[in-house]
Structure 1
Amino acid sequence: MNKKKLSERDICTKFITPALEKAGWDITTQIREEFPLTAGRIIVRGKLHTRAKNRRADYVLFHKPNIPVAIIEAKDNKHSIGDGMQQGLGYAEMLQVPFVFSSNGDGFLFHNKIATDGVIERELSLDEFPSPEVLWQQWAVHQGLDEQQTDLVAQDYHSDGSGKTPRYYQLLAVNKTIEAIAKGQNRILLVMATGTGKTFTAFQIIWRLWRSKTKKRILFLADRNILVDQTMTNDFKPFGSAMTKIQKRQANKSYEIYLSLYQAVTGTEEEQNIYKQFSPEFFDLIIIDECHRGSAAADSAWRNILEYFSAATQIGLTATPKETKDVSNIDYFGDPIYTYSLRQGINDGFLAPYKVVRIDLDKDLTGWRPDKGMTDKNGNVIEDRIYNQKDFDKTLVLPTRTQLVAKKISDFLRQTNRFDKTIVFCENIDHAERMRQALVNENGDLATESSKYVMRITGDNEEGKAELDNFIFPESKYPVIATTSKLMTTGVDAQTCKLIVLDQNIKSMTEFKQIIGRGTRINEDYGKFYFTIIDFKKATELFADPDFDGDPVQIYEPGPDDPTVPPEDEEPIIIDEGEDGEEVIIDFDPEGEGEDEGEGTRRYVVEGVKVKVASERVQYFDAEGNLITESLKDYTRKTLTKEFTSLDDFLRRWSSAEKKQAIIEELAEQGVFFEALAEEIGRDYGPFDLVCHVAWGAPPLTRRERADQVKKRDYFTKYGEQAQRVLEALVDKYADEGVTQIEETQILTISPFTELGTPIEIIKDFGGLDQYHKAIQELEEALYSA
């Protein structure tokens, strides 16, 4: 057997997998081949999107199905034994495993990050691959786990038989939590971006601790009824009859898994504190969902629950840890043991990326000053000063500004899809109502068709709140546009929200990340791969903040006597529960969002002030996580010059490729949108000419021009009469449809080839299939020799 002729897959099947089985690795439970790590980042330009190639490891070895311990990166035998090591080390960093192997079928290069003898890399023969027991023992010793702790860490996660397994970052979050608990840590913080599966991760943590009987009574706390109910019917469903929901005035102690609203077990009166019906030692594990909200404040009623059950292990889940000079949940839970950020989620392809349409209005930039003695709509004399962006819709209302914003939103939807779910974040409830009216007037045809096309969804409006579920559910057509102030900043799982409009001053990083999180979920069934942010208030400048997706750090340690009043802009909403047990959700109003701005505060309404767009630009999220402003051509040029060192390098790669389709697909995965470039430069140009022209300025030739040049050269005369007819027809097909069509033999099953014979007869005219493929390659060389 000549190894040099074997493919990488053959090397795996014939050499690597047998070596693993011989070393004692179980092929069904411990060896995972082509293990997917990422989904492939979604790249967006204009209205088009594509997925980059996903990252996957050739092998991941598991001690148990839940604990990865080693990576193997395979190469074909034309490579050296260590050629896959650097790639394998990258995968190992993602999965945080200490053992990495590279192989070309001759043996293994073994990289041991925790080697005790100082030799980090060594070569092993195929017969020397270490057994599962050897690697597991080294791993456990390095982790500092004794035998009892190791048994807990090795407990299996739940599998429903559907093949759904935790993503790599969920595996890490679960395993790190279990390891921390095994070592006796009782306060744990997990930071995971909105939409990355915090509840599923929590379920797997609880399942392993519950099944191992390490934790026998568990409490899951959330702050929304809908969150508790969805959790019970979805992720937590396998707990079945062992699970219950704590209602007001109910404290049944015969269950093992309890779910509850914070406010269902707390109250201002002692008899309302249902949690005190349980003994302080009753629960031995408490999971606190969305712990960046009220539970972060040391004097909150929610924190009282945690302190009452202080003997329990407590795990905080959050997308945005609250860290201000007054409030710290890092102070309570400790530093996060694992963080998976919004940026990581987007780069891995698990979260939807965004493009930003930044619209600056002239009065926002230059401000507005009233004439001396000028009165507003209600006859009030307007205070003489310059009013700027921070004043608009708070102390000063310009109806023409609201109308212009509504028009720009509506124009965008007309260019994309008028039924794309949209959230418009306004300064306050009054602003949200005026924006609703303006949007209704801008979309009179659809608003007449359904009064729910545009709805105000704020804490004071029962009709709007009643439609919140319909806005969230992908199956519900209405409402389409929701105007809000604070109510929808968090806890709203709007999977199909494609447009977020910011007409609100946002200075809080916590609130900003929560708002952006409303759009980050992907729903491929409904065509949701990315979302757009239209920003009227410069809020997206926060993307440039170095702390936007940095690791959480504690900036303040509150002392025992320090005040803990939530600062302005940091607490999105207050949630309480009414007498009937239903949630009462009220907009938090630090600056006076409601109709009553407080004593001595007046809101001027000034009509007739002309407002116009000063500038408008589109920005995209690049591979490094930065918002950039660039055209499709600029992005394509940058991508191509990264991939190819020069035009000659591209020409070599193009001419040596057996199929040009492979290069076209590879570039498309990196965001080279050939269809969009053709729209911009010319639909008659093929991918080859588009690349050469955009990246290196070469004059492009149309497909027809290339086809005509080949015909003028009497290229076909070296073939027989029938083969010439086939090749001439292929050239015409190339001119009409492009190179990828002529590379597939299926083209012989359509007209005009069916008039020249059957596919078998046509291929026979060339002397066989190999000769036919060779003729196609030579034809492509002739087409591109120009």
Structure 2
Amino acid sequence: MTPETKARQQIDQKLEQAGWVIQDMKQLNLSAKVGVAVREYPTDTGPADYVLFVNRSAVGVIEAKKDSAGENLTATESQTERYATANLKWRKDNSPLRFLFEATGQIVRFTDNSDPAPRSREIFHFFEPETLAAWLAQPGTLRRRLAEQMPALPTQNLRDCQISAVTGLEKSLAQNKPRALVHMATGAGKTFTAITAVYRLIKFGGAKRILFLVDTRNLGKQAHQEFMAYTPPDDARKFIELYNVQRLASSSIDPHSQVCISTIQRMYSILSGEPIDESAEDLSLNEMQQTTKQEKLVRYNPAVRVDSFDFIVIDECHRSIYNLWKQVLDYFDAYLIGLTATPDKRTFGFFNENIVAEYTYEQSVADGVNVGYDVYEIETEITQKGAAVKAKEWVDHRDRQTRKKRWGETEEGIAYTGKELDRSVVNVSQIRQVIQAMKTAVEMQIFPARKETPKTLIFAKTDSHADDIINIVREAYAQGNAFCKKVTYRAEEDADSVLASFRNDYNPRIAVTVDMIATGTDVKPLEVLLFMRDVRSKGYYEQMKGRGVRSLDGDSLKRVSNSADGAKTRFVLIDAVGVEKSLKTESRPLEKKPGVALKDLLQGVAMGSRDDDTVLSLANRLVRLAKQLDVKAQARIEKASGGITVAELGKGLIAALDPDAIVAAALTTARGKGITRNEDTLLPEEIEAARAERVAAACGPFDKPELRDEIEGARREREQIIDHINLDQVTFSGFSEQAETQAKAVIDSFVSYIAQHKDEIAALSFFYQQPYQRRQLTFDMIEELHEHLSRPPLMLTTERLWSAYVRVQAGRIKGGDSKRQLTDLVSLVRFALGMEAELKPFSEQVDKRFQEWIFRHNAQRATAFSPEQTEWLRLMKDHIASSCSISRDDFDYAELADKGGLQKAWGLFGKQFDELMNEMNEELVA
């Protein structure tokens, strides 16, 4: 069979799958079906390979090529165009054919000549005749509508960054760019922005159906809730009252839906025929914890046509659309719109570097959309240096999965590093010391004015580690079960209900998670993140930090944290494992077959499976295993391998597939045979031979069954040593150098602002005036100053400024554990101007001056103030401390009115009343 004949057979098969009837000219019967593809149809420029008829009318042409020409299909477009504009024999209407295809047995490219500036694109499969018939019946194409019919965007209720994202996307679509990336910081409203765009694409762009693709069931649920809540700017009805939104839970796409929300796992299952493991939809592919095998390729499914969706919106596109999963996106003839807060180089590359909107975390903080964060570090001795349990010590041994314990002696001495904590060894003292240090720091330094524990999220290493943390948290805080709960996919309690309570209710105050709240989950009241696990992925780490960045208004925060004073202005990242300093990578994991068991990978390599995916997956497992095994297990494996360690076995497999090393080996072999070669002239078979030789050498040790048994046996070992013997102690607890640098920047911006605006703002003018004018300071002036300072981009609230001074000049700060009041801004300004040597709460300064003032008055008067008069003067002093001044009108406020108000005060002090009041205003605020 010639390559041309083989390609024609494959093209015929694809056309028949799509519902076309294939005919030769001799058997021509245009009434056989809606769509008829006629081979070798005569034209005045020669026979066309295929002419497509829909409802008896010629509508398109296919130029067929053998597979070897697949790389150059675009070069044949002129041929296709020639046949499309040629005169077809027996055809009365000789207008150009609209639909142009170039095809080999493997590749299909398509051009719609009705598009503005028609451009070919690769499609997964031929369209069905009904699709072409529907397009012919429309007045214009989707691409023409996007270029010519999209009206201006109404901007009410949209942030600037959302306006920029929607308009940038629509501009990109108008230019027929197939992929677009929307980079918006966490909390900036990516989903709301996407729904705004989806609404316009359906209403004005005439989109038939849009796929909203997520990678966890939880994200799909959140997206569905946002679609249900969305009301467009030009219609009083909800989105779901206007258009059908389907949250896909089976293999059937509702033909009446305009929006379909699906996990990429489910869509892959539909297209590949691979049964879906329902639990796989709960796990983010970014965390590489899939449990299902992923081996089948996506194939054409007549029930899910390639034109089913006009657009695919990919939520959290930085993590789920690569490697095997990319087939889902390749299948559909749709524009791809990516949403992410943490793009990496791979993301930019996939979306053709077409970034239609970019709104960074720093910009979002400046705009008040998100809040900034401080880093607080906790170091313990065992975290840094590890410890050792001597031989014959009696300790607990615990099964990793069943949690069953046995009390027994250690067979030999066990030394462990900080990296091994909570995997092979659990040191309860280390966990306790970290939790206690966090508790002390939050209560005394980070949020000293709070009466309840701020909402806190702890990232644990494993499910077992999470359980240990929960037990110790409840004990350390002397609280019950409701106070601290686990929120993971494996938790016995319904994760969604716990998460809802964590978000909206008083309890739990602290949540512990391994995977579920790491990315994409919105918990706005979060103010503390404790990292008790390290993260190597830069993008994943940014996503985890993103759980704390959401801003929140004061009323909403008070609903779950009653003692919170005002809106959420920051969160604190407490680093107990060096996560801020550890090396981060943007590269993807080596794991290619995460669902294949280690023993099957070992057996496969021994049987001769040497493909890249298998070899790299085995390498990844071995490198990971090497970090988990104790010295004894590593020694057994090294002995069985003939002296090669577990880590070296894994590294050897990776090195064997190094492309540069393979080329170098091929060149060496060729030169050894006396053949002159360079990198450009090496033959494919020479490169493959060098690869096979290198891989065979690296895989050689796995031929030994005893090595395979030792490796698998080591993996099955899952007992943990519970170290109750080595007691840990905190070696450092404080804000990181980065936090101190940030604090200095806050203070610098404050001092600079005071100097620049001293003549514009009444309160600042007051501080630069002579002492006798001090009585002019009012609460309104302080409130005006605070409003100027707390607005973006400064975001200098009283709380934040005070915290910054505590961090940088702790020795000169007094009363740092009291709750901040707005009038403390007076103390801050005076301290910044050098008018005070120490920074004290304004109320303490007023108290001190009051004591001096009343003592002086009693000494000068013939009769000292009576106890009742003194009590009233204290009430007036307290009002000045909270409001900067007091006047006759203030006696209507509750604390003074309840005691008798102005009438009572006048009765006590008589004609001296106004004089005493003015004197207090001047003296106590001085």
Give the TM-score normalised by structure 1.
0.60
Contact 1:153–1:179 (8 Å) recurs in 2: no
Q: 2:834 aligns with which of 683, 696, 709?
A: 696
Show the counterpart of 2:151.
Answer: 154
Match status 1:746 vs 2:889? yes
Distance 2:177 2:920 in 1: 65
**Residues 235 and 429 (structure 1), Cα distance of their counterparts in 2 relative to 1, 3 Å cut:** same
> Which amino acid in the other structure matches residue 307 of structure 1?
D
Unaligned ranges ≥5, structure 1 = 1-145, 159-163, 549-554, 557-564, 575-587, 621-625, 715-728, 767-771
**Residues 784 and 469 (structure 1), Cα distance of their counterparts in 2 relative to 1, 3 Å cut:** closer
Q: 1:207 aligns with which of 186, 199, 206?
A: 199
Match status 1:737 vs 2:880? yes
Distance 1:680 1:515 in 2: 30
Show the counterpart of 1:69.
Answer: none
Contact 2:210–2:260 (8 Å) recurs in 1: yes
> Which amino acid in the other structure matches residue 830 of structure 2?
C
More deviation, 524-533/734-743: 734-743
| Pairing of 1:259-408 with structure 2 (within 5 A) | 259-267=261-269, 270-271=272-273, 276=301, 277-295=303-321, 297=322, 299-301=323-325, 303-309=326-332, 311-323=333-345, 328=347, 330-369=349-388, 377-378=396-397, 379-381=409-411, 387-408=416-437
Distance 2:548 2:178 in 1: 34
Show the counterpart of 2:160.
Answer: 168
Report the Cα offset of residue 246 of structure 1.
2.8
Distance 1:442 1:215 in 2: 57
SS for the counterpart of 2:180 is: strand
Report the Cα offset of residue 699 of structure 1.
6.0
More deviation, 668-677/415-424: 668-677
| Pairing of 1:22-37 with structure 2 (within 5 A) | none
Contact 1:644–1:650 (8 Å) recurs in 2: no
Report the Cα offset of residue 505 of structure 1.
1.5
Show the counterpart of 1:191.
Answer: 183
| Pairing of 1:504-519 with structure 2 (within 5 A) | 504-519=533-548
Contact 2:380–2:434 (8 Å) recurs in 1: no
Give the TM-score normalised by structure 2.
0.52
SS for the counterpart of 1:250 is: coil
| Pairing of 1:110-125 with structure 2 (within 5 A) | none
What is the aligned residue count? 563
Report the Cα offset of residue 513 of structure 1.
1.0
Q: 1:643 aligns with which of 754, 772, 780?
A: 754
Report the Cα offset of residue 694 of structure 1.
5.8
Distance 1:365 1:216 in 2: 58
Unaligned ranges ≥5, structure 2 = 1-142, 231-237, 275-297, 398-408, 445-449, 562-567, 597-619, 631-710, 759-763, 791-795, 804-812, 839-844, 861-871
Report the Cα offset of residue 206 of structure 1.
1.1
> Which amino acid in the other structure matches residue 249 of structure 2?
Q
**Residues 292 and 698 (structure 1), Cα distance of their counterparts in 2 relative to 1, 3 Å cut:** closer
Distance 2:429 2:875 in 1: 57
Distance 2:394 2:884 in 1: 70
> Which amino acid in the other structure matches residue 557 of structure 2?
Y
What are the Cα deviations for residues 204-244 of structure 1, in whole angstroms up to 9, with x where unaligned? 11112221135332111112333323323333553324332
Show the counterpart of 1:661.
Answer: 779
Contact 1:422–1:480 (8 Å) recurs in 2: yes
**Residues 595 and 514 (structure 1), Cα distance of their counterparts in 2 relative to 1, 3 Å cut:** farther
Show the counterpart of 1:541.
Answer: 581
SS for the counterpart of 2:536 is: coil
What are the Cα deviations for residues 658-702 of structure 1, in whole angstroms up to 9, with x where unaligned? 644354231573334599977349999986566434641546874
Contact 1:358–1:618 (8 Å) recurs in 2: yes
Show the counterpart of 2:223.
Answer: 231
Contact 2:434–2:730 (8 Å) recurs in 1: no
Distance 1:284 1:147 in 2: 13
Report the Cα offset of residue 350 of structure 1.
1.4
Contact 1:370–1:384 (8 Å) recurs in 2: yes
Report the Cα offset of residue 165 of structure 1.
0.7
Report the Cα offset of residue 200 of structure 1.
0.2
Show the counterpart of 1:467.
Answer: 495
**Residues 644 and 469 (structure 1), Cα distance of their counterparts in 2 relative to 1, 3 Å cut:** same
Distance 1:328 1:408 in 2: 39
Show the counterpart of 1:50.
Answer: none
SS for the counterpart of 1:490 is: coil
Report the Cα offset of residue 444 of structure 1.
5.3
**Residues 343 and 254 (structure 1), Cα distance of their counterparts in 2 relative to 1, 3 Å cut:** same
Distance 2:508 2:536 in 1: 29
**Residues 639 and 711 (structure 1), Cα distance of their counterparts in 2 relative to 1, 3 Å cut:** farther
| Pairing of 1:432-581 with structure 2 (within 5 A) | 432-443=466-477, 445-447=479-481, 450=482, 453-459=483-489, 461-464=490-493, 466-473=494-501, 474-524=503-553, 525-527=556-558, 529=568, 530-541=570-581, 566-567=589-590
SS for the counterpart of 1:345 is: helix
Distance 2:498 2:742 in 1: 37
Distance 1:572 1:319 in 2: 26
**Residues 705 and 434 (structure 1), Cα distance of their counterparts in 2 relative to 1, 3 Å cut:** closer
Contact 1:220–1:260 (8 Å) recurs in 2: yes
Distance 1:489 1:688 in 2: 41
Query: Sequence identity of aligned pairs in percent?
Result: 19
Show the counterpart of 2:244.
Answer: 242
> Which amino acid in the other structure matches residue 531 of structure 1?
F
Contact 1:636–1:671 (8 Å) recurs in 2: no
Contact 1:472–1:493 (8 Å) recurs in 2: no
Show the counterpart of 1:258.
Answer: 260
SS for the counterpart of 2:377 is: strand
Distance 1:150 1:505 in 2: 47
SS for the counterpart of 1:190 is: strand
Distance 1:644 1:650 in 2: 11
> Which amino acid in the other structure matches residue 209 of structure 1?
L
Distance 1:732 1:711 in 2: 17
> Which amino acid in the other structure matches residue 201 of structure 1?
T
Report the Cα offset of residue 261 of structure 1.
1.9
SS for the counterpart of 1:305 is: helix
SS for the counterpart of 2:527 is: strand
Contact 1:430–1:595 (8 Å) recurs in 2: no
> Which amino acid in the other structure matches residue 880 of structure 2?
E
Structure with the largest fraction of helix: 2
Match status 1:422 vs 2:456? yes
Contact 1:406–1:438 (8 Å) recurs in 2: yes
Q: Based on CA coordinates, which of the two structures has the bigger radius of gyration?
A: 2
Contact 2:317–2:338 (8 Å) recurs in 1: yes
Contact 2:531–2:579 (8 Å) recurs in 1: yes
Distance 2:755 2:519 in 1: 44
